[in-house]
Chain A
Amino acid sequence: MKSLNEFVALFAEQFDETDASEITASTNYHDLDEWSSLIALSVIAMVDEEFDVALKGDDVKNSRTVEDLFNRVIAKQ
């Protein structure tokens, strides 16, 4: 099973313009300038590939921080 740190790194890889150092477990990703529905699709695809979990739109919308989202992924595994 992947750790929270690994999840944060994979999450950060989905962004093109946001530096990985700006994204930590406690980052509220909705506040990032680059966050968009297209990045959300990339995150859903990453979670499917790396965790074999099918996230719903509500999981991505209702989680606030990267750690919240990680916890949802783990709960669905």
Chain B
Amino acid sequence: MAFLEFNNVRISGIAAGVPSNVASNLLPSDQDNISHDYSPEEYVKTTGVEERRVSRTLTTADLCYAAAERLIKDLAWNKEEIGALIFVSQTPDYVLPATACILQDRLGLSRESFAEDISLGCSGWVYGLSTALGLLGEHNVRKALILCGDAKKRFRVDNQLRDPLFGSAGSATAVEYCVGGESIKFHFGTDGSGFDAIITPDMGSRNPVTLNSFKAEEFEGKTSLRLMTRMKGMDVFSFGITTAPKSVKKLADHFGFDYLDADYYVFHQANMKMNNMIAKKLKLAPDKVPSCMYRFGNTSSASIPLTIVGELKGKFESKPTKFICCGFGVGLSWGTVAFQTNSIVVSELVEVDDLEADKKYVV
């Protein structure tokens, strides 16, 4: 029973960074892989994704870095006080070292910092948040950052078409030790039997890269290489619509609160059909379920903080506000968190130009 509860902690601020370059699904270019089986309008109607942010230059670390710099400035935090940095992504800058180590130096954080990468996708923000909160305490780390998202892929062939469902985004979430206030409560779950529902077959130690990795294969009716991520769409859909509502209910039952009392429900932005189904099953009022996929697409682990920044900024920061957030996806892995914010800092969305890509930590 993976329930966790943390006291004397708070979420102090949230920021998100996206590439400034917009790709439209209504006016797709020859770089966009929109099927000829339906029109762009039909695609947009079904998935809910009108446009998303793309870059062939900016990495997840670049987007998270920009979000983190803005958030630290908006919070007026002293960088010396930040004791931990957690980077959650499946698109790190290098196979090794951990991107969190690079970001420690790039952000100018203390050498006396805890830094680690977590390899998770759509459930990642919830996991990263709990890991960071677990480090905080009166005599432990006082302030920590969770940098989380996915962007530029690790592998691409020339002229590879872009998937119109996915967008690039990074995020920064600031947490700190503080006496009192509402506890932050979590439920987590994992089902590794679904390990191949979303998988990149080659490029890890199980299947190292060989010449065979570059041969085209058919997978679910599409041509794919073993270096590309593949998804069993129906399995993932079925998993999402059943698991996410159950996780929300389990969290509320375990901690004895009514899940319908929250002000906002922020789900991982998978696709509109899936998210509408999840909200319907939980009988949530549509105005309490913000969504940003119409303009950013599915942004993996950045989607929950990006939705808060993109859709809720200016609506809740100054008053006590109850959130329930649920991430679910590759692993299979899922997590739900309930927290209350009060005087939280939400930064303006940070738009990152390709020229801002890292130039220093490059070999």
| A, B in one complex | yes
* A interface residue numbers (CB < 8 A to B): 36-38, 40-41, 44-45, 48-49, 54-57, 60-61
Contact B238 A44 (CB under 8 A): yes
Contact B235 A41 (CB under 8 A): no
Label chain B's interface by main secondary structure. helix
Contact A44 B37 (CB under 8 A): no
B239 interface residue per 8 A CB criterion: yes
For B234, B235, B277, the residue with the greatest tally of chain A CB atoms inside 10 Å of its CB is B234
Determine the distance from Cα of A76 to Cα of B91 in the docked complex, in whole angstroms: 37
* B interface residue numbers (CB < 8 A to A): 37, 46, 232-235, 237-239, 241-242, 273, 277, 281
Contact B238 A56 (CB under 8 A): yes
Contact partners of A41 in chain B: CB under 8 A: 233-234, 237, 273
**What would be 12 A-B contacts, judged by CB atoms less than 8 Å apart?**
A37-B234, A40-B234, A41-B234, A41-B273, A44-B237, A49-B281, A56-B235, A57-B234, A57-B235, A57-B238, A60-B234, A61-B234
Q: State how many angstroms separate the Cβ of B232 from the closest Cβ of chain A.
A: 5
Closest B residue to A57 by beta carbon equals B234
Contact partners of B239 in chain A: CB under 8 A: 54
Q: Which of B46, B232, B242 contacts A38 (CB 8 A)?
A: B46
Contact partners of A54 in chain B: CB under 8 A: 238-239, 242
Q: Which of A36, A49, A60, A61 contacts B37 (CB 8 A)?
A: A36
Contact partners of B237 in chain A: CB under 8 A: 41, 44-45
Contact B37 A48 (CB under 8 A): no
The 8 lowest CB-CB distance pairs between A and B, nearest first, are A57-B234, A54-B242, A57-B235, A54-B238, A44-B238, A57-B232, A41-B237, A56-B235
Determine the distance from Cα of A54 to Cα of B238 in the docked complex, in whole angstroms: 6
Closest A residue to B280 by beta carbon equals A49
Contact partners of B233 in chain A: CB under 8 A: 37, 41, 57
Determine the distance from Cα of A44 to Cα of B235 in the docked complex, in whole angstroms: 9
Determine the distance from Cα of A41 to Cα of B276 in the docked complex, in whole angstroms: 13
Closest A residue to B242 by beta carbon equals A54
Contact partners of A44 in chain B: CB under 8 A: 234, 237-238, 241
Q: State how many angstroms separate the Cβ of A55 from the closest Cβ of chain B.
A: 6
Determine the distance from Cα of A48 to Cα of B242 in the docked complex, in whole angstroms: 7
Q: State how many angstroms separate the Cβ of B340 from the closest Cβ of chain A.
A: 31
Q: State how many angstroms separate the Cβ of B196 from the closest Cβ of chain A.
A: 11
Contact partners of A55 in chain B: CB under 8 A: 234, 238
Determine the distance from Cα of A54 to Cα of B281 in the docked complex, in whole angstroms: 14
Determine the distance from Cα of A36 to Cα of B37 in the docked complex, in whole angstroms: 10
Q: State how many angstroms separate the Cβ of A71 from the closest Cβ of chain B.
A: 18
Determine the distance from Cα of A37 to Cα of B47 in the docked complex, in whole angstroms: 13
Q: Contacts A41-B273, A45-B241, A48-B241; is A56 near B281 (CB within 8 Å)?
A: no
